[in-house]
Amino acid sequence: MNEDFLTTRELAERWNIRADTLKKWRVRGTGPLYHTTGRRINYGLEEIEEFEKNKLRSHTSMPEPPPTYLDKIENPIKDRKLSQRGFSKKAKSKKNRSHK
């Protein structure tokens, strides 16, 4: 493996967490940035160190700062309106629904 990258298993060992936790973070978009090559997932050391730097705290009541690395990514989905995806602001009540 290239020394500039870690596999999911190697990163899990580095942080003493389960590999499944990293998988959940990837699905939620809350973990560090990662690279895919085919089915392989690799984490760049630069992104890992940036993620670790953003997690530093001086006390437990300190709010978590927004991740700086997210500025580098564009999210095409975030600008969609709910109405464009078929959602309405008001849900129909059960009384107003017709059952056939």
Is residue 91 in some structural domain? no
Is residue 11 in some structural domain? yes
Is residue 67 in some structural domain? yes
Is residue 43 in some structural domain? yes
C-alpha span between 55 and 49 (Å, rounded):
10
Is residue 96 in some structural domain? no
Is residue 97 in some structural domain? no
Q: How many domains does the chain have?
A: 1
Is residue 54 in some structural domain? yes
Q: pTM of the full predicted structure?
A: 0.58
Range of the domain at 62: 5-75
What pLDDT, in 10s, does the model give residues 72-92?
555 555 554 544 555 555 555
Per-residue confidence (pLDDT) for residue 92, from 0 to 100: 53
What pLDDT, in 10s, does the model give residues 30-71?
889 999 989 999 999 999 999 898 887 777 776 766 665 555
CB-count exposure of residue 48 (10 Å: 0-12, 13-18, 19+): buried
Is residue 13 in some structural domain? yes
Per-residue confidence (pLDDT) for residue 59, from 0 to 100: 75
